[in-house]
Structure 1
Amino acid sequence: MSEFFSTGPFLLVYLALLVIVFCRAQATYWIGYYVTTRLTKNVPETGWRRRFYTWSEQDSVKAGIDTIHRRGWIIIPLSFLTIGFQSIIQFAAGLIRFSPPRYTAAMLPGCMAWALIYSTIGFSVWGALIAAFAGSPYGIALLLLLVLIIVLGLRWRRRAQGRLIHE
């Protein structure tokens, strides 16, 4: 299957990726919608429903909800240009019961952009980065340094936000 995405005809690769990201985004949105319409009234004790409910209570998801409220619908298609934040925004859109037709209209440009990126340069760039970092001790050190910088930056940001809230 991975050979298809790297050597297949562009149009078929693009359409396959478009269908994949569309279904994934819709599923994430509808899980959020389900959590807010069904599980907030009757919080489950265990199982998969409890895991989704617990996810809905995380700080990252609350930050996603705040971002949608602050920035509006435009954050939905823009989230497809990120890694990690995309799922949070799709889930958060469901949690706030963003209108399903408006959500679908807002996510389509993001899905198209995501599929275009990954059908052209996306997989090539990831493959090249992994090969470069994995084959070189300097690359591995640089990768670890980047991860450390990101983790420290996120911690600093959370602390700064915590100080703003308490002031």
Structure 2
Amino acid sequence: MLDWIRSLPLIPAIAFLLVVIYLRAGATYALGRFATQLAHRSRLRRFLESAAVASAQDKLARWGAPLVALSFLTVGFQTAVNAAAGVVRMPLRRYLPALAVGGFLWAVIYATAGLAAFSLWWRLLVANPLAAVLVVLAIFGAAMVIRGGRRARARLRSPATPLAGAADRQGTGSSSVRAD
């Protein structure tokens, strides 16, 4: 199928991939909504009606559209985000525009550089499976190093939380005992 898509001119290839991603992501969203409906009829109902879930639904309804759109620039994460948007019942008026934007970006990238990169990796896999696995592991490792570096920088920038013992020594902690 990859050769068939690559044989298409760019615009028809993007159009075909748009149909694919809209159907796939839309179905994932719908499955998330359906799973929530089933869960509401089960023991999970109390959890799904909790304040925490209501808060998550509110945040995703307000801020989820950019997350949905940007998730299409990742591999694997997009499925989780689309399912989560369905599970928390993100309103369609916010979900569909995000799907349109993110899906379009995905189709353009996949029809151009993404498809070429995957085709190159597939040829490597056929020729030398070990090298193909090492390439995937190297990319994954690089992503983890970048993520770890970002987390470390974020920890250095965040203010340190005082230790409970320090608060007690100052007499502001709840466990300080005074001898009168």
For the criterion TM > 0.5, the same-fold answer is yes
Q: CA deviation at 1:2?
A: 3.2
Question: Could you say what secondary structure the match of 2:41 adopts?
Answer: coil
1:119 is the counterpart of 2:111: yes
C-alpha distance 139-18 of structure 1, shift in aligned 2 (>3 A): same
Correspondence for 2:175: none
CA contact (8 A) 1:68 1:89 kept: no
TM-score between both structures, scaled by the size of structure 1: 0.66
Unaligned stretches of 5+ residues in structure 2: 45-52, 149-180
Whole-angstrom distance in 1 between the partners of 2:66 and 2:139: 29
**How much does 1:11 deviate?**
1.3
For residues 1-20 of structure 1, what are the structure 2 equivalents within 5 Å?
Answer: 1-20=1-20
Q: Does 1:30 align with 2:7?
A: no
**Does 2:120 correspond to 1:128?**
yes
Number of aligned residues: 135
Please list every run of 5 or more consecutive structure 1 residues that lacks an aligned counterpart in the other structure: 45-52, 54-61, 157-167
User: Is the 2:61–2:90 contact (alpha carbons within 8 Å) kept by the matching residues of 1?
Assistant: no
Distance 1:35 1:136, change over 3 A: closer
* Pairing 1:54-65 to 2, within 5 Å after superposition: none
Distance 1:12 1:141, change over 3 A: closer
Shift of 1:119: 1.0
The residue identity in structure 1 corresponding to 2:103 is C
Contact 1:73/1:106, CA 8 A, preserved across alignment:
yes
Q: In 2, are the aligned partners of 1:74 and 1:106 still within 8 Å (CA)?
A: yes
| 2:152 match | none
Is 2:88 the counterpart of 1:96? yes
Contact 1:18 1:115 in 2 (8 A): yes
Tell me what 1:86 maps to.
78
Which has the higher relative contact order, 1 or 2, with Cα contacts under 8 A spaced 6 or more apart? 1
User: What's the CA shift string for 1:115-166, capped at 9, x where partnerless?
Assistant: 001111211111112323543477257337538848x88xx9xxxxxxxxxx
Q: TM-score, normalised on structure 2?
A: 0.61
Q: How large is the RMSD of aligned CA atoms in angstroms?
A: 3.4
- Are the equivalent residues in 2 in contact too, given 1:4–1:13 (CA < 8 A)? no
Say if 2:17 and 2:107, in contact at 8 Å, map to a contact too.
yes
Looking at structure 1, the residues matched to 80 and 141 of structure 2 have their Cα atoms a distance apart, in angstroms, of 22
CA distance in 2, matches of 1:19, 1:143: 30
CA distance in 1, matches of 2:86, 2:104: 20
Deviation at 1:102, TM superposition (A): 1.1
